[in-house]
Amino acid sequence: MKQSFPTKMRPVSNANESIILAELYRRLYRHYGPQRWWPGDTRLEIIVGAILTQNTAWANVEKAIRNLKAAGLLSSARRLHHINKRSLARLIKPAGYYNVKSSRIKNFTRFLFSKYGGSLERMARRSTEELSRELIGLNGIGPETRDSILLYAFKRPVFVVDAYTKRILSRHGMVKTDAFYDEIQGLFMSHLSANEKMFNEYHALIVRLGKERCRTSPQCYGCVLGAGKVLENRPM
DNA sequence: GACCAGGCACATC
DNA sequence: GATGTGCATGGT
């Protein structure tokens, strides 16, 4: 497998990957402390939030969630299941893509009621593999949303890859800029122990890091941990 | 006013 | 399989 890297980015060797990924986690945790995700109280709220945050700033998602709570729609899946698509779209408008997201949320509740009688507790008894298959089969739930739901709503040890993860890793020459989701996820999951609590914090910390913007370069996402050289400065 | 944000599905080649 | 496009709001 041939890869080309910019001169300043050296590919890291396989042997070092687990050390580097563990070190990145340690540095992020030391710097930011625990993030205590997901920012939502119930399974239902986490699932809805995972759909609403697709390609959307969390601040906008919060407004939509507030509207849903005020309308009493997050207290039970049944209320969400029975509201019509247009009314739901109106409530989630601040989160953008409100028509598609309304359909996606309704898709999920339709599935939840047809397969599990509307019970997330029943759904939670299924194996990770079954849940994964079912979720990815729903229109509107792609790999990141599926894994966010698995990790944060169902507490399964699955690593969530997002745009920040990809950007940070590609900047350090660990993956190509056009790497696939599964490839990046595999990097984390094959080199780290499958620890749900750690995966939870790790993803949240990467998002926290990703939100930091460098004043000197809009391309730079890692300065906060030492001029963007989180990995290059590694003492190894 | 441009650019970005915790994606995904679908059409087309 | 790869690439392009639509979906939309709100903050910087």
CATH of the domain at A129: 1.10.340.30
- Nucleotide closest to residue A136 (CA–C1'): B8
Instruction: Single out the residue in A153, A173, A204 at which a domain terminates.
Output: A153
Strand C reaches within 7 A of the A126 CB: no
CA closest to C2 C1', residue = A178
Q: Do A25 and A73 fall within a single domain? A: no
> Is the per-residue pLDDT at A17 higher than 70?
yes
One domain for residues A193 and A130:
no
Distance in Å from B8's C1' to A136's CA comes to: 11
**Strand B bases contacted by the protein (CB, 7 Å):** 4-10
Does the residue A38 lie in any domain? no
**Which among A124, A137, A100 is positioned nearest to A43, based on CA atoms?**
A124
User: How many Å from the CA of A197 to C1' of C5?
Assistant: 38
Range of the domain at A204: 14-33+159-225
The separation, in Å, between residue A191 CA and nucleotide B1 C1' comes to 45
Number of other CB atoms surrounding residue A83 within 10 Å: 20
- Supply the pLDDT for residue A173: 84
Separation of CA A5 and C1' C10 in angstroms?
37
pLDDT band at A9 (very low <50, low <70, confident <90, very high): very low
What pLDDT is stored for residue A212 in this prediction? 80
Judge whether residue A118 contacts strand C, using its CB and a 7 Å cut-off: no
Apex A99 CA angle, A113 and A207, nearest 5: 85
Provide the pLDDT confidence category of residue A171 given band limits of 50, 70 and 90: confident
A162 touches strand B (CB under 7 A): yes
Which single residue is written with the structure tokens 């119930």?
A42
Q: How many domains does chain A have?
A: 2
pLDDT tens digits, A97-156: 999 999 999 999 999 999 999 999 999 999 999 999 999 999 999 999 999 999 999 999
Predicted structure pTM score: 0.90
pLDDT in tens, A196-234: 999 999 999 999 998 886 444 444 544 445 434 444 443
Strand C bases near protein CB (under 7 Å) are: 3, 6-11
User: A211 or A158, which is more confident?
Assistant: A158
Same domain membership, residue A139 and residue A52: yes
Q: With 90 as the cut, is the pLDDT of residue A12 above it?
A: no
Last residue of a domain, one of A153, A172, A200: A153
Q: Is the separation of the CB atoms in A174 and A3 below 8 Å?
A: no
Count how many Cα atoms sit within 13 Å of the Cα of residue A96 in the half-sphere of its side chain. 9
